Amino acid sequence: MFPACRFILLRVLPACLTLLCLFTTGPLRAEKPSPGLELFENKIRPVLIEHCYECHSAATTDIKGGLRVDSRDALRSGGESGAAVVPHRAKESLLLDALKHESFEMPPGKKLSDEVIADFVKWVELGAPDSRDKPPTLDEAASLSWKAIFEKRRHWWSLQPLQKVTPPVVTDNDWSERAVDRFLLQKLRQAQLQPAEAASPRTLIRRLSFVLTGLPPTPAEVERFVTEAKQNRQAAYEGLVDRLLASPHFGERFARHWMDVVRYTDTYGYEWDNPAKGSWEYRDYLIRAFNQDVGFDQLVREQIAGDLLPEPRIDHQSGFHESLIGPMFYHMGEHRHGDSINFNGIHQEMINNKIDAFSKAFLASTVACARCHDHKLDAISQRDYYALAAVFMTPRWTSRVIDAPGKHDTLIRQLQELRSEIDQELKQSWRDQAEQFRSELTTAVVESSASPRSQLWREALGLQLAKGKKKPAPLKSDDIAWPAAQLLKVTTPAEIKTSWNQLQTAWRTASQTHRRQNGERFQVLTDFSEPGFPEGWQVEGDGIRYGYVTDGTPLIALEGEQLIQQLLPRGYHTHALSSKLPGAIRPPSERDLPGKIVSLKLAGGEWSGFLRVPDNAFQTENVIFFDRSEPAWQTFADRPLVNGIQRIMFEIATSDLNPDFPPRTGKTRAGGKLLPPEDFGFDKRSWFSVTEIVSHDQTGTPADELERFASLYEQPAPKNSTEVCQHIGNWLTESVDRWSRDQASSADVELINWLLEKQLLNNKSTAGSHLHKLVSEYRQLEEKLPFAHTANSMDERGLTEVSYPLNIRGNVDDPGKLISPDFLDVFAGRHQVPQSPGSGRLELAEYLVSPQHPLTARVYVNRVWQWVFGEGLVRTPNDFGHLGEQPTHPELLDYLAQEFTKGGWSTKRLIRRLVLTEAFQQSGIVSDQARNIDADNRLWHHYPTRRLEAEAIRDTLLAVSGRLDRSLYGRPIAAPRPKPDPSKRLFNGPLDGAGRRSIYLQMSIMDPPRFLVGFNLPDLKLPTGKRDVTNVPNQALILMNDPFVMSQAEEWAKRLIADSSDTVEQRLQQMFLAAYGRSPDASEVERWMALIRDLGNTREQTVLLDNPEVWQHVAHAMFNTKEFIYYR
């Protein structure tokens, strides 16, 4: 063989020895195989499969070096370098040279054993018998090869059931009898190491306070603990632990830890960085949950399937439907703008974000790595990825009302009662007024009275132009004033009769034609003659729950002189009682609607609108915001599914239930009204109405059947102008009369609203009247009604499962077969996800918290250990797979996981167990022996020195300066920004964030708080299991020069000047206690006193004590010490 050919073969073969695959192609021979063939089946084929098939078989479209080893002929023919195997000639078989590592290391890194190589030599010498007489197809090779790889990988440590572990017995143990300590001590003894001595009480309280609350202990708390510890250290420490676990700041601390894991953001990133609706509600939900010690199993259920729980967690004390907030978990992170109809790849990228976060948060697995191919290292197939995609894509990603059910019922019912009283008063008043219509019309038209009332009638009927007003548009035949205007143009009886007959005939013809065409072309799904929506349509919010009205229900005016805005036609009106009430209508997907087209008669305003959402890409531009007071037809036509889209949904919603509100800046509503950039959608009135729904196959919408004219033309033809006025008067009076007797039709409502518009019914409030009093009470009560709390969540009601296309090689332009919802194949048979009629999220959640699942408890316990000790037992908390590290103490991890689940998944109980250990109470002093043997402290021979996280540094500055606002919860506070960008809603916030803790600062993907970024705030787009901790010059510069730091030094100085210190030394002592939790030693007092005297240029105590500039510099200097931002 030519040397060049030999070189090429040895260059391409390393790629083949990488992953395990297993398949068979031809049938097995019936007779007993020869020894050589038996050797091939038992020893040769498995090795080829394990190390070669992924790159050198039909399983790949990119054959390395042209060499395939998945059939007899292919192996003997070889690749670009010639035959890899020459039967009976071992020395000429280049495959054997490669296996021996004589030229190149194949497989890379680790040579196969001598026994395996000897098997290959023997096989070649026997003639290289091979039963594979034809190559497999691509699907056969891929499927069978993955089975072999999968079978090997499924035995990885983290996929095995939790092992029942008994804490070890350690002889001569005078350190601790606690189970956790015994596990640690056993390993320390094996390494011939000893734990560090116990930390001092001052060190311990500072450490514990930061670990459990993220805040420094106050001087009073330090002194209390030190005093109590002198009497009984253990009792004092347990009391301190319990106090800190009960602190409301505990919830803030551990919520922030979990927020890292779920990639918490207040915005969606990309160019517009739109607000993520309800993100802060999710943050507050976490704080409440950790403070209340809600079991982590419940939090898992709520975050994965909180909208599906048969017994949701509702907190009537706080007023929240907590379980519905949980699925906001899915909505964190970065979301692309637009949708895949216009820009292919958007929904694929969004689902990738969800899968990545889910798998890392709950499974410590990198499932997103299988988007383009089977996972290169772990037991995760590409099919697994797309099965999870189907799970998460099945529900509707939308907004939900997260108030506890019935939270506002009392106020709402009071509004209903007041509306009923107002309604009855109006009916009596307007019925009396309507009785005068006939005479008023005669006076106005026949007698041509100059009274203001007569002028109103003539203007209303188009007979007179109002003074100072523009000429109105010409009347149309369907206008209410049209008949009167035409009849009163003529004067003789013959002309009047002719005109009447023409009008009546034209109306009857048009009405009958429209009615017939409507019946032929449109199927009425509902006209709301009874409350309720068509089957499969889902609704949300009190605006819908209390929004159904019959014809003629008054809409109370909430300001101004008017009593009511209008009478409402029957249907649903979210503002029927208050435009604060939220509402949403969610029909089935377009493919599940009857007919090709659905049309709704809609009205709306104040940023209500409808969205068309392809595959949950709710930041679509397919949003139309309403700005019309009268219902008009809106059509939704079924669209072709392109670019892998499986479903298009639409919904009509008030702004607070629109998942994409507020939209990007620059977006307008109908009429061209622009949403101000500073509008974040909080406390926003919004409303819509729907009065009829039809389906149809042809374009167009139902025609007006002109019912409002029916009672007019039922009368006999008038003989003169007086009778015309009587007919018009009868027509209008009878409508008011029917309404007053609760018998109004939609036609009557149109007529009465016309009368109101033309000011022909008295609709003004007279001070002192009973109506005035009732309307004032209504307005005051409505003002007290709170705006609803809403958040982006999930809604699976009325939906069936969605299959998701497997993108070939991850290419969004090459969709393959559809994959149904399912969980990872490695857990097949242990859960009910594929048997679910919907997404399977509830079944998935229940499996994750079941005793059969090996990961959830392990992963979470490891996280908590890391949050308490600084490093996890597994130091890669988001990856328990092959690329991650294995546990330093696997038995301890399993023991804690089992105790955790047996203890009700209580986070506080787990933390209490950990912080009460002697391991946690160790000092940070490292012996030389420990440093040499275990420099990374993997055996926990001391408590590590830890730098405060970014938020804790900022919060400590606020706490020590006295500026900290310790209140909980609330909307995000804009961070200070030197260069605001209103086009992206990036505004400049208060320098100190209004004194609020860092957890309440707005986490904008585009521009996160810069102070926090400087101290390793994680990338908000990605789930973070462990933060980076760097020590770079920029951090020193921040502490030296950042205006926030200097402002807190000034704030602390003001407080110091006002204290009761009698001496400089006394004040210095208080500053040390506040900043470091300890008193200064003699040398420190000397150094700091020298600094203070130099700063004040005097030794005079009184002058120094009263000089704010001195103390501001001293405070700033303390902020810049290492001890201020580290604890041991």
Q: Are residues 564 and 607 in the same domain?
A: yes
Alpha-carbon span 643 to 344, nearest angstrom: 6
The DSSP H or E segment spanning 669 is strand 668-669
The pLDDT assigned to 14 comes to 39
pLDDT recorded at residue 779:
98
Q: What is the average pLDDT across 146-156? A: 88
Comparison of pLDDT for 266 and 1098, the residue scoring more: 266
Report how far residue 369's alpha carbon sits from residue 346's, in angstroms, rounded to the nearest whole number: 18
Q: Angle, nearest 10°, between helix axes 346-363 and 382-393?
A: 100
**Pair 1080, 1106 in one domain:** yes
Using an 8 Å Cβ cutoff, are 762 and 433 in contact? yes
Same domain (yes/no): 107, 213: no
Give a three-class secondary structure readout of 213-250. Answer: HCCCCCHHHHHHHHHHHHHCHHHHHHHHHHHHHHCHHH
pLDDT at residue 12, rounded to an integer: 38
pLDDT at 855: 98
In DSSP terms, 275 is beta-bridged to 267
Q: 851-867, pLDDT tens digit by residue?
A: 989 999 999 999 999 99
* Residue 13 within any structural domain of the chain: yes
Residues 515 and 622 in one domain: no
At 138, the amino acid letter reads: L
* Calpha distance 733→61 (Å, rounded): 82
Of 452-461, 595-604, 665-674, 784-793, the one with minimum mean pLDDT is 665-674
681 and 725 inside one domain: no
Q: What average pLDDT does this structure show over 182-199? A: 97
Residue 576 sits in a domain whose CATH number is: 2.60.120
E strand residue ranges, 81-221:
none
Helices and strands in the chain: count of H runs, count of E runs: 41, 23
What pLDDT band is residue 37 in, cutting at 50, 70 and 90?
confident
Instruction: Give the end of a domain, one of 720, 735, 757.
Output: 757
pLDDT at 170 over 80: yes
Q: What is the CA radius of gyration of the chain?
A: 38
Stretch 54-69: mean pLDDT: 75
Question: If residue 603 lies in a helix (H) or strand (E), which one and from where to where?
Answer: strand 597-605
Flag whether 777 is in a domain.
Answer: no
Q: Which domain holds residue 450?
A: 435-521+708-757
**pLDDT tens by residue, 1036-1063:** 999 999 999 999 999 999 999 999 889 9
Tracing tokens 């003699």 back to the chain, one arrives at 1082
Q: Say how far apart CA 816 and CA 385 lie, in whole Å.
A: 13
Query: What does pLDDT average to over the chain?
Result: 92
| Last residue in a domain, options 153, 188, 217 | 153
Q: What are phi and psi of 1029, to 5 degrees?
A: -125, 105
DSSP 33: P
What is the average pLDDT across 485-494?
A: 92
Is the pLDDT confidence value at 507 over 80?
A: yes
pLDDT of residue 13 exceeding 80: no
Residue 1020 DSSP symbol: T
728 closest CA partner among 744, 761, 704, 751: 751
Residue 26 has pLDDT above 50, yes or no: no
Q: What pLDDT sits at residue 109? A: 67
Contact 585, 455 (CB under 8 A): no
Selection from 339, 875, 955, 330 nearest residue 617 by Cα:
339
Q: Do 515 and 528 share a domain, yes or no?
A: no
CA distances from 613 to 619, 644, 649, 697, 881 (A): 8, 14, 5, 21, 36
Query: Do 528 and 625 fall within a single domain?
Result: yes
Q: Which amino acid is at 909?
A: R
Residues sharing a CB contact under 8 Å with residue 640, sequence separation 6 or more, in sequence order: none
pLDDT of residue 17: 34
Provide the 3-class DSSP secondary structure of residue 688. strand
Whether 18 has a pLDDT exceeding 70, the answer reads: no
Residue 398, domain member (yes or no): no
Torsion 301-306-312-314 (CA) sign = positive
Does 697 fall in a domain?
yes
Stretch 424-449: mean pLDDT: 94
8 Å CB contact between 820 and 803? yes
Residue 71 and residue 219 share a domain: no
Are residues 672 and 737 both part of a single domain?
Answer: no
pLDDT tens-digit readout, 88-130:
998 888 888 778 887 666 777 678 888 888 999 999 899 999 8
* CA-based nearest residue to 768, from 759, 760, 776, 778: 776
For 642-672, write each residue's pLDDT tens digit: 888 889 898 999 999 999 999 888 888 776 7
Residue 1094: enclosing H or E segment and its boundaries? helix 1082-1096
Q: What angle do CA 822, 826, 831 make, to 5 degrees?
A: 50
Residue 911 falls within a domain, yes or no?
A: no
At 371 the pLDDT is 96
Whether 206 is in a domain gets the answer yes
**Structural domains counted in the chain:** 5
Q: Compute the C-alpha angle 687/693/698, nearest 5°.
A: 130
Q: Is residue 797, in this structure, part of any structural domain at all?
A: no
Instruction: Tell me which residue of 465, 459, 466 sits closest to 445, measured CA to CA.
Output: 459
pLDDT score at 10: 37
Cis peptide before 662 (omega within 30 of 0): yes
Shared domain check, 595 and 514:
no
In tens, the pLDDT along 336-364 reads 888 888 888 888 999 999 999 999 999 99
What is the structure's pLDDT at 147? 83
Q: How many CB atoms lie within 10 A of CB 474?
A: 8
pLDDT band for position 32 (cuts 50, 70, 90): low
Domain finish residue from 119, 153, 187: 153
Q: What pLDDT is recorded for position 906?
A: 99
CA distance linking residue 50 with residue 18, whole number of Å:
7
Domain identity same for 22 and 34? yes
The closest alpha carbon to 437, from 457, 411, 458, belongs to: 457
Confidence band (pLDDT; 50, 70, 90) for 468?
A: low
Mean pLDDT of 940-963: 98
Clarify whether residues 544 and 504 are in a common domain.
no
pTM: 0.90
Strand partners, 815: 807
Q: Is residue 1084 a part of any domain in this protein?
A: yes
What is the percentage of the chain residues whose pLDDT exceeds 90? 75
CA atoms of 833 and 237, how far apart (whole Å):
46
Whole-angstrom distance, CA of residue 324 vs CA of residue 792: 9
Across 405-409, 767-771, 822-826, 1024-1028, least confident range? 767-771
Q: Token match 């305003």: residue?
A: 605
E strand residue ranges, 403-556: 523-526, 538-540, 548-549, 553-556
Handedness of CA 943, 902, 316, 844 (dihedral sign): positive
Q: Which residues contact 4 (CB under 8 A, 6 or more apart)?
A: none
Average pLDDT on 960-974 reads 98
d(CA 551, CA 569): 4
- For residues 1068 and 1092, the answer to whether their CB atoms sit within 8 Å is yes
